Amino acid sequence: MMKRMMAMFVLVSAVGIALPRPAVASDSFSGRITNFTATSVSVRGPEVLTVTLDSRTIFTKLITQKPWQEDTRLNARALSVGRLVVVHVRDEDPGVARWVQIATDMPSTAAAASSSASFAPIAAAPVAQAFKSSDLLTAKEVRELIANAKTPADHVKLQKHYLASAARYDAEAAEHTAEAQAYRKNPSFLDSKHPLAPGTASHCDRFAELSRAAAKEARDLAAAHEQVAAAK
């Protein structure tokens, strides 16, 4: 928590030079929900995959269209058959969902959930383009590209970088929120004597707020570079 706290202060003070982050997950897949329970979700992409949901699974909005600044906080009640999702599985247990992004800004299409043919044009393109971890640039690459960007492709590259950064910050915000909830279930003396100290719910709430602010700034930057690319 302390390492992330220091990194976050640096990030928020200079979000225009977005720092590279560790990958949110080592594997992920996307598609339409075909079935779900309190402990699992099945998703149809090229094939139907089912993963376990547990108390640590994070749920956030998958923003596929403007406005990018929308609040991404969400919970499992947003799951619905036919709804587009991106599921990130755990490194240590690929059968368990670490993070589920739910596209609440797209219609929940029952037909898409039952037909693998409809998956590709609806789900694959926007998700792959907006949230690939490979779109992230190093701090040096960002500085050089900002200083030398001349073509639409240069600005699209920056746009994708900031969208990928925003997705990372959204995930961190969800993690901090989950940690805050866990601390509230088992509070310590720190909560009353030092409420903003590491290891308290308020501390986690604060960094969830900072992560959401960083995500908003990253989306603003992505939108700016999208406009420049379209104007060239």
User: Model confidence over 170-215: pLDDT tens digits?
Assistant: 878 887 887 788 788 877 666 666 666 677 888 888 888 888 888 8
Q: Is residue 145's pLDDT more than 90?
A: yes
Greater model confidence, 194 or 218: 218
Nearest to 143 by CA among 18, 9, 7, 12: 18
More reliable by pLDDT, 15 or 167: 167
pLDDT at 17 over 50: no
Contact 154, 213 (CB under 8 A): no
Examine the pLDDT at 118 and tell me if it is beyond 50. no
178 vs 14, higher pLDDT: 178
Asked whether the bond before 187 is cis by omega within 30 degrees of 0, the reply is: no
Given a contact cutoff of 8 angstroms between Cβ atoms, the answer to whether 197 and 207 are in contact is no
Mean pLDDT computed over 215-228: 89
Three-state SS annotation for 124-188: HHHHHHHHCHHHCCCHHHHHHHHHHCCCHHHHHHHHHHHHHHHHHHHHHHHHHHHHHHHHHHCCC
pLDDT at 52 over 90: yes
Percent of the chain at pLDDT exceeding 70: 70
AA identity, residue 72: T
Q: Which residue has the higher pLDDT, 95 or 18?
A: 95
User: From CA 19, how far away is CA 9, in angstroms rounded?
Assistant: 12
pLDDT at 58: 92
pLDDT at 136 over 80: yes
Identify the weakest region by mean pLDDT among 18-32, 47-61, 88-102, 176-190: 18-32
Does the pLDDT at position 137 exceed 80? yes
Contact yes or no for 52/139 (Cβ under 8 A): no
- Domain boundaries, given as residue ranges, for the chain: 2-21+136-231, 28-129
Kindly tell me the sign of the dihedral angle through the C-alpha atoms of 192, 197, 201, 206: positive
